[in-house]
Chain A
């Protein structure tokens, strides 16, 4: 069983450019999460999907951020008009939510550097 995969693993962009990240969850996992982690901090929740539906968005997710999971499988996270403050590791996790028993499994992350 393959784990969560993310692409690209690293991205360097100039301020003002748009970037898009992809996450492929563990097959048959119905939930998919996005987190952001800055240096020296723990991951912070951004948003999550159950199947195709986006169930919750953090206040951290400004209007420049948008996430989709169109067919309930892979997900994309787009950042428009990037700012230097967007530099971080973007982590994706997936889980099989069956009542209270849920464990999130994380991908390797996409490290973004905005110059």
Chain B
């Protein structure tokens, strides 16, 4: 079946460090891929998305490239800030008319000054 696997956290980095959070997926067909971010005490917000192979989503300095050959959608940022501390969820959408997102388990990122 369709699933998303992302690296377990927590990930602890110093400010200005390089960030990678790995995400791989299993899906039939051509799903759309998303990264959502959840700041403490808040709901999830869309961070970036890619709808087809080789698309690169980007927002707020974060990037992720839809790699169909490796079924991956890794999240990267060149220089993290304390304000990036949050839980990051990788997700895939499939099913056309149905409202089904499949989420990974989330990765907690803690950035220290």
Q: Do A and B bind each other?
A: no
Residues of A within 8 A of B (CB): none
Residues of B within 8 A of A (CB): none
